[in-house]
Structure 1
Amino acid sequence: MSHLVIVESPSKSKTISKYLSDDFVVKSSKGHIRDLAISGKGGLGVDIENEFAPHYVISKDKKDVVKELKACAKKADDVYLATDPDREGEAISWHLAEVLGLDPETTKRVEFHEVTKNAVTNAIENPRRIDMDLVHSQETRRVLDRIIGFKLSKLLQKKIKSKSAGRVQSVALRLICEREAEIDAFVPEEFWKIDAEFEKDNIPFKAELTKHKTKKLEIHNGEEAQAIYDALGSTFTVEKIKKTTKKRNSYAPFITSTLQQEASSKLNFKARRTMSIAQKLYEGIDIGTETVGLITYMRTDSIRLSPEFTSAAMDYIEKTYGKEYVGSIKVSKKTENVQDAHEAIRPTSIERTPESIKQYLTQEQYKLYSLIYARALASLMAPSQSASTSLVLDNNDYKFNASGSILKFDGWLKVYGEYDKSKNELLPDMSENEEIDAKKINKEQHFTTPPARYTEAKLIKAMEELGIGRPSTYATIIDTIQTRE
């Protein structure tokens, strides 16, 4: 018996071939092999008048790939289609079946969410059929892209010499333009702040003026600020002390959008760079004893974690940090726009700590893997606990607020603390009706500022919140907008 396995990427084919016996041949399609034609009415490759029937052609740069795959498929007793586990991957499998003359009803479609020996061999042993619902979903999106994109692109090329328009790209660009218009239209407004500086038991702290009697205070100009400043004495009375214990839950494990946002703000990686590094970590890294995928599939909108990983991670947390650090599983609130097709992004093994494999990774791979590892582990850890104190200080009916917080139990911050800087703001021990003299009272002029321009992370967050695009599109969209200025 000889078996042909077809995956999308050449590097993944190298990794997978190491897991399977010699009677398996693993080949790569190098992504899509067919696309909509650019012939026919309007060059759309879609027959709008005949129920939007698509007309596909083999891509010019894939003719040699198709020739090789056809030759391999002829020799093989059976063919396994092992493209990516998403809508796009399902469509690639269907296109391969069509071009290679395979029957979609009998062709073996295998799906795995991590490139590890267990996951791959298990998928090969349990093939399914091509999911035509997913294929039709991808086809619909592609046809819609083509109709809108081609027609709008021609208009824009004619009017403003633009290269192209995209269904999602155009909406993202609109968000940027609307924000720019807000910035242009913004008129700064003057306001003032008054605060007092204190020190007790060698602990300095500040309190800010917020109210006069019970009314919230807004200081609009220098005259108002001076009048209040003149009405203040140097002695303040502690009117109210409130002490609470605050719990802070860990973040959910990464989905595509949150990984891109966090890698942008914490590691200064562009979205496209993040996805490129994540792709390599997913497809497989040689770590000396084996070649293995280090993370699960990185295109996902679900925070779900597999029971096997959760169990192993919780055992690891208890063994490494203690029972009090074990938390609970994050439950996903299923919303209309979430497909929940596969797990959150996580390490394939909790035992493969970043330090233990650092020597096999590039600096960027190590940084991103460390971030993903810490986030997945922290998501299953106990909340952090802080002792918080807030003070209200009175000065001639003007109320000043001060607050402080001390971390009592680090919980999930034990592993995620370096990415989440929580400051200890100390307040001295004080009692109600105690009097304290200010070392200094400050009044400062400020002006309101316009909304900030989008960073990559903020634009991805805005698109996600508005339900624009899918996880796999964010990096490409942002890259296109920046490249074309």
Structure 2
Amino acid sequence: MESPSKAKTIEKYLGSNYKVVASIGHIRDLPKSQMGVDIEHDYTPKYINIRGKGDIIKGLKKEAKAANHVYLASDPDREGEAIAWHLSNILDLDMDAGENRVVFNEITKDAVKDAFKKPRKIDMNLVDAQQARRVLDRLVGYSISPILWKKVKPGLSAGRVQTIALGLVIDREHEIQAFQPEEYWTLDTQFKKNRSKFKADFWGLAGKKMDLPDNEAVQDIIKRLDQNGDFEIVKVEAKERRRNPQPPFTTSTMQQAANNQLNFRARKTMMAAQQLYEGINLGGKEGSVGLITYMRTDSTRISSIAKNDAAHFIHSEYGEEYAASKPVQGKPQEGAQDAHEAVRPTSVYRTPASVKDKLTNDQFKLYQLIWSRFVASQMTPEVLDTMAVTIEQNDVQFRANGSKTKFQGFTKAYPSAREKDNKLPELAVGDVVTMEQLSPDQHFTQPPARYTEAALVKALEENGVGRPSTYAATIETIQKRAYVKRDAKKFVPTEIGELVQGTMDEFFPDITNVKFTARVENELDEVEEGDKIG
């Protein structure tokens, strides 16, 4: 068990026969003062006890000696499995003799008790994948640093995933600098039918869509129009459009939504998520309870129990017509492990309003986002009535588009996902309307936008670089090292960042190659699955 707050909650669930103690994260690692990897002997790592962990190790050994049986309940991922393996070595546990590893995806009484009924052996595939990544990162770091010190500035360092993140930011900046804006124009109009006014845009000429590249083209169109004359409705297309909800959150989509909707940085999101996962004291009989499932995941899968609970809740809270018979399923990202469920509330019945007074402001905002997204994912689509209207005079055509909500569907539980209505008056083919306003506007095409934190997380994921546990740390690292800075919430490379990346491109082209790094991630996943020897 890594965390004291988590340990406290679990001890309460297990009762007085169990003593739960925390390791407070890793207790062994590679030494900071040297490579710590024996390259001559199959890249064997040389682990040492982490400085400052002496008292914790002493306490753990004492408790283990006094216990009849030792269970290792660190997080259910590579890092957690490695922590369990290191603990079993420090505590001299016989890994072959017994099953002492317990894992759970949520910290609730049922999940914890169920996990202790089904202990297993430490999964060495997971441990090997973590060790392979750790050794690889150390080899890369220790190979790169001396070159950076010599070529750029003493004290600099770089890593595998951070280098790709920095490269993405720099490549985008170069695209922006090389961008050549192109002129284009729009003709925005306002029409009137009886007392109702509505907006429309220039569409084309004589039934063909047409761009307006310059003012000359605009004036040619304006000359064709009698702005005080009648305009006719020549086409009305009414359709019903259905908007499906999105699947529940993965780590990546949670970080992106929290950044876009709550203005949370990735680190802040993960900190609040960790607190919600490890347990919140709800008082009374419930005491401390984990409010969400494990927050490091690249899966959108949810358990059948969670699905059934959501269906019952939606039926009773919103009505049968809001409950989806076949809820939306997300497409797994390439390389996704699907070992855990999506990030979801541990109980759909714990509505955000019911726990609000027990949460900090940040915890509440994130919990509300996770809860709403999960409930919405189990609901029916939003249904919109849409209308596309073509208005014509002298072969010049304008288009007006309108929409209004016919059925709220999933947006009943997730109001922030609702589309704004854009109502048009009742219009039919043959109706006559008048032009109230005609506004020619000059524009220039815009360069691609700099990366926000949400966009950078998405780009890393889409490129198959990094994993759920690394996104926040990667982005924080390139900022801490002053390789990038934030300008209006967007990343801009610094001069030193450009120099570091240039040196990396020259001396370590594999490390700056996105495909190479993605392939390494996939091979680590294969080690985890037991398909490859670490």
Q: TM-score range by the shorter chain?
A: over 0.9
1:27-55 CA distance string (max 9 Å, x none): 1111111112346xxx3211223221111
How many Å apart are 1:318 and its aligned residue? Answer: 0.4
Q: Which residue is equivalent to 1:239?
A: 234
- 1:261-272 pair list within 5 angstroms: 261-272=256-267
- Residues 173-227 of structure 1, C-alpha deviation per residue, up to 9 Å, x if partnerless? 0000011111111222211101221122533211111222243312222222122
Structure 2 CA distance for aligned equivalents of residues 129 and 248 of structure 1: 45
Opposite residue 389 of structure 1, the aligned amino acid is M
Q: Which residue number corresponds to residue 362 of structure 1?
A: 360
1:333 aligned counterpart, secondary structure = coil
Q: Note if contact 1:203-1:426 (Cα within 8 Å) is conserved in structure 2.
A: no
Match of 1:406 in 2: 404
Corresponding residue of 1:148: 140
Aligned partners of 1:401, 1:385: CA distance in 2, in Å? 22
Indicate the residue corresponding to 2:198 in structure 1: 205
- Whether 2:247 is the aligned partner of 1:273: answer no
Secondary structure of 1:128's aligned partner? coil
Task: Give the counterpart letter for 2:288 in structure 1.
Answer: T
Amino acid at match of 2:367: Y
| Partner of residue 65 from structure 2, selected from 69, 74, 86 | 74
2:392 to 371, 374, 394: 394
Contact 2:327 2:380 in 1 (8 A): no
Partner of 1:3: none
Question: What corresponds to 2:174 in structure 1?
Answer: 181
Partner of residue 4, structure 1: none
1: distance between equivalents of 2:401 and 2:391?
Answer: 11
> Would you say the 8 A contact 1:190–1:221 is kept in 2?
yes
Q: Aligned partners of 1:228 and 1:336: how far apart in 2?
A: 49
Aligned equivalents of 1:165, 1:83: Cα separation in 2: 29
Q: Which residue matches 2:23?
A: 29
Output aligned runs, 1:109-148, within 5 Å: 109-148=101-140
1:395 is displaced (CA, Å) by: 2.3
Task: Spell out the pairing of 1:323-402 with structure 2 (5 A cutoff).
Answer: 323-327=320-324, 328-402=326-400
Correspondence for 1:449: 446
Q: Distance in 2 between matches of 1:73 and 1:342?
A: 29
Please tell me the residue identity of whatever aligns with 1:226: Q
Kindly indicate whether the alpha-carbon contact (under 8 Å) linking 1:272 and 1:476 is maintained by their aligned counterparts in 2: yes
Deviation for aligned residue 1:160: 2.0
Aligned to 2:312, the other structure's residue is in SS state helix
Equivalent pair of 1:97/1:107 in contact (CA under 8 Å): no
Where structure 2 has 5 or more consecutive residues not aligned to the other structure, the ranges are 483-534
CA deviation map 1:330-387 (0-9, x unaligned): 3343454110010001111111111111111111111111111111101000101000
2:100 maps to which residue?
Answer: 108
TM-score (norm 1): 0.95
- Aligned equivalent of 2:432: 435
| Kept after mapping to 1: 8 A contact 2:99/2:121 | yes
The 5 A counterparts of 1:165-314 are 165-234=158-227, 235-289=230-284, 290-314=287-311
Kept in 2: contact 1:201–1:428 (CA 8 A): no
**1: distance between equivalents of 2:429 and 2:318?**
40
SS at match of 1:252: coil
**Which residue in the other structure is 1:19 paired with?**
13
Q: Structure 2: how far apart are the matches of 1:52 and 1:380?
A: 48
What letter corresponds to residue 126 of structure 2 in structure 1? L
Alpha-carbon contact 1:210-1:216 (below 8 Å) kept? yes
The alignment partner of 2:188 has SS state of strand
CA gap 1:453/1:309 in 2 versus in 1, 3 angstroms:
same
Q: How many percent identity over aligned positions?
A: 49
Look up the equivalent residue of 1:416 and give its one-letter code: Y
Residue-by-residue CA offset, 1:87-122 (whole Å, 9 max, x unaligned) = 110111011111111112224100011111111111
The runs of 5 or more residues in structure 1 that have no matched partner are: 1-6
Post-superposition Cα deviations, 1:411-469, rounded to whole Å, max 9, x if no partner, equal 1000111x224110011111113221111111111111111111101111111111110
